[in-house]
Amino acid sequence: MSAATAAYYDALETRAPEERENALMAALPDVVAHARAHAPAYAAILGDLTPSEVGSRTALAKLPVTRKSELIERQKTARVQGDAFGGFATIGWRPRRGAVRVFSSPGPIYEPEGEGPDYWRAARALFAAGFRQGDLVHNSFSYHLTPAGSMMETAAHALGCTVFPGGVGNTELQLQAAAELRPHGYVGTPSFLKIMVDKAAEQGTALPSLRKALVSGEAFPPSLRDWLAERGIVGYQCYATADLGLIAYETEAREGLVLDEHVIVEIVRPGTGDPVPAGEVGEIVVTTLNKDYPLIRFGTGDLSAVMPGPCPTGRTNTRIRGWMGRADQTAKVRGMFVHPSQVAAIARRHPEVHRARLVVSGEMANDQMTLKVEVASRSEGLDARIAESIREVTKLRGNVVFSEPGSLPNDGKVIEDARSYE
């Protein structure tokens, strides 16, 4: 089967799940060892860990989660010593085996791009969206500061595509280029694609060649997807970050997002590193096999959940439901910050508690906290003991309400802010 007519980007997408899991777990100890030996931040984080013992998801789940706030702080501290990446990268500047480019994301966080084709692994997502060798790709992601433009350009080149580097803004000029160059597809944010299509209609400019799109960076609701389809553009979405590259991508089945073949993804309870049962909403935590920037158990701050069964397209990797909100649900109550990790700490003190959800209600200056807990059975005085734990952990008073197991909403919320701000 030729590349132009192949159903899959490569054979990795249809391998047996057991084969994939074995390959990922076999690669993991080597990545951990490399990070511990060559990335000072991981030497500190992992301590005296024996990398060869980290060859299973159970062992991986025992390692600490590194969150974006820690990455920012370590980079700030290390910057005065000349380490822009805070000890997380194993490469630096050329001519030593170093970064080809360096990018900046809000924080700021600096990310290296190392050598190699399709460095961010986004070609798989482009292929699933219908892009093929010989296509002209209109790339409207940013080419400065953040890596999105480079991420998609290198992916398109890996597929054998030509790229028009439109970048962001300059709608009139980009529309003129799209009309005259006649690209086969678009990559960028869905909102800018809509702006371009609306502007084309307003001006009476035809875009007959533009028939496919891969979008990211924003929500891509079904209403916009259908709106584009009515105008002849079939759009798909992918989930990627500046730190990790591609994490998951949409297929023609449009049933969730299929995980990339070169990342290990866990869904954990917000505020903890504890994996949740399959199907439960939690924070996406990713371990990348990129030895240049080997992020291990990196908390994305995004919520999602694993979907049951394989993709109808025949791809056998795990699917997630896509972006479902943010995991950082910190709330300020009576002048004190309450964090999801504190709710988890309260629950861990009481083995009877299966799940907990803190609801903050009332009006401004009259906050009330209620901890809803799922318990199968409760001993006498459990509510008073939990209330005492609330006071000890948060330094605030809260009520306790018991619920049946499975009764709390499966939306990933550990702290629900139900206050009125009117």
What is the mean pLDDT of the segment spanning 360-365? 76
- Residue 411 domain boundaries: 331-417
Residue 201's identity, in one-letter code, is: A
For residue 288, what are its two tokens? 């990348």
Helix/strand/coil for 414: coil
Whole-number pLDDT of residue 3 = 46
33 pLDDT more than 90: yes
Confidence band, pLDDT 50/70/90 cuts, at residue 191: very high
Confidence band, pLDDT 50/70/90 cuts, at residue 30: very high
C-alpha span between 208 and 181 (Å, rounded): 11
Confidence band, pLDDT 50/70/90 cuts, at residue 393: very high
Across the chain, mean pLDDT equals 93
Domain assignment present for residue 373? The answer is: yes
Q: Are strands 298-304 and 282-288 parallel, antiparallel or unpaired?
A: antiparallel
Domain count, the chain: 1
Domain assignment present for residue 246? The answer is: no
User: What's the helix, strand, coil split of the chain in %, to 5?
Assistant: 30, 25, 45
Whole-number pLDDT of residue 16 = 98
C-alpha span between 281 and 325 (Å, rounded): 10
Whole-number pLDDT of residue 1 = 37
Confidence band, pLDDT 50/70/90 cuts, at residue 250: very high
311 pLDDT more than 70: yes
Centroid of chain to Cα 95: 32
186 pLDDT more than 60: yes
User: Please, where are the H alpha helices in 221-372?
Assistant: 222-230, 340-348
Whole-number pLDDT of residue 106 = 86
pLDDT 10s digits, 126-162: 999 999 999 999 999 999 999 999 999 999 999 999 9
Show Cβ contacts of residue 209 under 8 Å, excluding neighbours closer than 6 positions. Answer: 182, 183, 184
Confidence band, pLDDT 50/70/90 cuts, at residue 2: very low
Whole-number pLDDT of residue 34 = 97
Confidence band, pLDDT 50/70/90 cuts, at residue 363: confident
Domain assignment present for residue 256? The answer is: no
Domain assignment present for residue 366? The answer is: yes
Domain assignment present for residue 277? The answer is: no
Q: Are strands 245-250 and 336-338 parallel, antiparallel or unpaired?
A: unpaired
Backbone angles phi, psi at 6, to 5 degrees: -60, 145
pLDDT 10s digits, 80-118: 888 999 999 999 987 777 899 999 988 899 999 999 999
Percent of the chain at pLDDT above 70? 97
Identify the H or E element spanning 51: none
Query: Where residue 349 sits, what CATH number does that domain have?
Result: 3.30.300.30
Centroid of chain to Cα 179: 34
Where is average pLDDT lowest: 3-12, 170-179, 248-257, 300-309? 3-12
What is the mean pLDDT of the segment spanning 197-203? 95
Whole-number pLDDT of residue 365 = 59
420 pLDDT more than 80: no
Identify the H or E element spanning 124: helix 123-128
Whole-number pLDDT of residue 421 = 56
This prediction has a pTM of 0.87
Whole-number pLDDT of residue 337 = 84
Stronger pLDDT, 4 or 397, i.e. the higher one? 397
**Residue 284 contacts residue 321 (beta carbons within 8 Å):** no
229 pLDDT more than 50: yes
Domain assignment present for residue 65? The answer is: no
C-alpha span between 353 and 355 (Å, rounded): 6
Domain assignment present for residue 344? The answer is: yes
Domain assignment present for residue 371? The answer is: yes
